[in-house]
């Protein structure tokens, strides 16, 4: 019983940690100002920001 609980914790903790790292990776990609600036120069399009409506300065 104790061993089952411990392996549950391991799976649970690993799952949470992996998810946290994946979220951080996604956030890094979605830090789209850096990414979209590059894309912008390639495509010539106004970058699409999923969070805010913006006007270019």
Partner 1 sequence: MTHLARRLGLFDAVMIVMGGIIGSGIFINPYLVARQLPAPAWILGAWAVGGTVALAGAFIWAELAARKPELGGQYAYLREAYHPIIAFIYGWTLLLVIQTGGMAAVAITFARYFRSIASLPVGDTAVAVLALALLTAINCLGVREGSLTQNIFMTLKIAAISGIVACGFLHKAAVVSHPAMAEGGNLLRALGAALTPIAFSYGGWQTASFMSGELRNVKRDLTRGLVIGVLGVIALYVAVNFAYLHVLGAAGLGNTTTPASTMMQQVLGDRGASLTAVAISLSTFGFLSQGMLTAPRVYFAMAADGLFFRGLTWVPERTQAPVAAIALQGLLAIVIAISGRYEQILSYVTSSDFLFFGLTAGALFVFRRRQPTALSHPVPGHPWTTAMFVCACALIVLGTVVNYPLESLTGWGILASGVPAYIFWSRKRA
**How many CA atoms lie within 13 Å of 11's alpha carbon, on the beta-carbon side?**
6
Residue 53 binds to partner 1 (criterion: CB under 8 A): yes
Q: Are 32 and 47 in contact (CB under 8 A)?
A: yes
Residue 10 binds to partner 1 (criterion: CB under 8 A): yes
Site for partner 1 in 31-50 (CB under 8 A): 31-34, 37, 49
DSSP assignment letter at 47: P
Residue 24 binds to partner 1 (criterion: CB under 8 A): yes
End-to-end CA distance of the chain: 62
Chain contacts with partner 1 (rule: CB under 8 A):
5-6, 9-10, 12-14, 16-18, 20-21, 23-24, 27-28, 30-34, 37, 49, 51-57
């Amino acid at each position: 019983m104790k061993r089952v609980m411990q392996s549950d914790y391991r799976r649970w903790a690993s799952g949470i940690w992996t998810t946290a790292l994946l979220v951080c990776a996604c956030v890094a990609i979605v830090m789209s100002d850096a990414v979209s600036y590059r894309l912008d120069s390639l495509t010539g399009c106004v970058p699409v920001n999923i969070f805010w409506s913006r006007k270019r300065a």
